[in-house]
Amino acid sequence: DTVVTQSPDSLAVSPGERATINCKPSQNVLYSANNRNYLAWYQQKPRQPPKLLIYWASTRESGVPDRFSGSGSGTDFTLTISNLQAEDVAIYYCQQYFTSPPTFGGGTKVEIK
């Protein structure tokens, strides 16, 4: 299975500042035939299911605020939350869907400083 490693495990950011979360799949998730990275990001708040934020590494899901952005390629990816708001407190997960089975990172907890 492709192991997905996230860092840091947690971070505290002041309101209005930027939060950066890293994700490293153990195998390349870029499919050269279509130049797409098979990676998604989710937000999970307490007692809720994960919510899709980003897919194809950088495509924002409909309705997701533009302060959330995804970048990277191959085996190195980043989720950036610009202008952090109180409602962004959550655990964030990345997931690769290039190899089967799809696998998730261990999560990054984002808190307000």
| Single residue of 5, 15, 76, 106 touching another protein by CB under 8 A | 106
Q: Shortest approach of another protein to residue 80 CB, angstroms?
A: 18
Torsional sign, CA 4, 8, 10, 11:
negative
- Count the residues of the shown chain that bind another protein, applying the rule CB under 8 A: 21
Chain positions 50 to 69 lying near another protein, rule: CB under 8 A, are 50-52, 55-56, 61
Q: What is the DSSP string of 5-46?
A: EEE-SEEEE-TTS-EEEEEEESS--EETTTTEE-EEEEEE-T
110 binds another protein, rule: CB under 8 A: no
Instruction: Tell me the C-alpha distance between 33 and 18, whole Å.
Output: 34
Q: Which is nearer to another protein, 39 or 84 (CB)?
A: 39
Using alpha carbons, select from 86, 74, 6, 84 the residue that is nearest to residue 42.
Answer: 6
8 binds another protein, rule: CB under 8 A: no
Interaction site with another protein (CB under 8 A): 38, 40, 42, 48-52, 55-56, 61, 93, 95, 97, 100-104, 106-107
